[in-house]
Amino acid sequence: MADYYNEREQDSSALWIKEPVAVSLSAVSRFRRWLFPALTATFILVLIIALGASSSAESMCCPPGWDEFGSSCYFFSRESRSWNESRVWCEKRNAHLLILQDDKTWNFVTRRTVPLMYWVGLSDWRTGRWEWINQTPYTMERRRWVPGQPDSWTDHGLGPGDEDCAHLHNTGRLNDLHCSIAMRYICQKHGTQA
């Protein structure tokens, strides 16, 4: 048999305020007087910080169809041209064929190019020594070349001259090739400040 206890429930209603509390109008007025200026000052401060951060961040602007990386813009062509025609096409757009100077740029570019082949701004036709399109000497890095390259092969059947122009092979490494071959190309130029 169940035992029932007739205990009185604790009445918490005494904790509730049943009568309206008289609020001083002067207290509300004081609250309103400092609330609006405080919110306005906070908003202005946040706005100043946001504008300062966005103007200090280096924001680059590239033309449509060009990709931004670092402080440069890159154009990965879909049409094929000879090395010289590619050079001229880039120059008409205030750019130059790609110059690869650091590992970060190399990785960015090869992620976009493998398994295709693209002309870059490296050749030995002018001096017989490898140099970039801006005439800075190229420091030979064998790890960047297809094994056995550059080889200046002359039995290509493409007319006089050997392989004087470099391209990114479909493996992401450099290879020398006759400059008259038509292939895709990569242009590079400095981005403009946005």
CATH of the domain at 158: 3.10.100.10
CA distance 178 to 162: 6
- Please indicate, yes or no, if residue 171 is contained in any of the structural domains: yes
CA distance 8 to 70: 76
- Please indicate, yes or no, if residue 94 is contained in any of the structural domains: yes
Domain that holds residue 112: 61-193
- Please indicate, yes or no, if residue 119 is contained in any of the structural domains: yes
- Please indicate, yes or no, if residue 184 is contained in any of the structural domains: yes
- Please indicate, yes or no, if residue 120 is contained in any of the structural domains: yes
Q: Token digits for 21?
A: 């509390």
Judged against a pLDDT cut of 60, whether residue 54 lies above it is answered with: no
Cβ(36)–Cβ(23) below 8 Å: no
- Domains held by the chain: number: 1
Residue 85: alpha-carbon gap to chain centroid: 27
Judged against a pLDDT cut of 60, whether residue 7 lies above it is answered with: no
Cβ(160)–Cβ(71) below 8 Å: no
Tell me which residue has tokens 């946005």: 194
Lowest mean pLDDT across 90-99, 142-151, 152-161, 170-179: 152-161
Cβ(122)–Cβ(131) below 8 Å: yes
* Amino acid 151: pLDDT: 81
- Please indicate, yes or no, if residue 49 is contained in any of the structural domains: no
The mean per-residue pLDDT over the stretch 140-155 comes to 85
- Please indicate, yes or no, if residue 97 is contained in any of the structural domains: yes
Model confidence pTM above 0.75: no
- 77 or 57, which is more confident: 77
* Amino acid 150: pLDDT: 87
pLDDT band for position 127 (50/70/90)? confident
- Please indicate, yes or no, if residue 48 is contained in any of the structural domains: no
